[in-house]
Amino acid sequence: MYLHVSDNTHLDPEDKMSKMRPLLSMISERCLNYFIKKQNMSIDESLIPYYGRHGARQFHLTFDKLFTSFRLVDH
What is the per-residue DSSP string for 52-70? S--TT-EEETTSTTEEEE-
For the chain, residues with pLDDT lower than 70 are 38-75
42 contacts 73 by C-beta, under 8 angstroms: yes
Give pLDDT, residue 12: 87
With a threshold of 0.75, does the pTM exceed it? Answer: no
Q: Which of 27, 26, 51, 32 is nearest to 69 (CA)?
A: 51
Neighbours of 61 (CB within 10 A): 7
Give pLDDT, residue 51: 66
DSSP-derived 3-state class of residue 73: strand
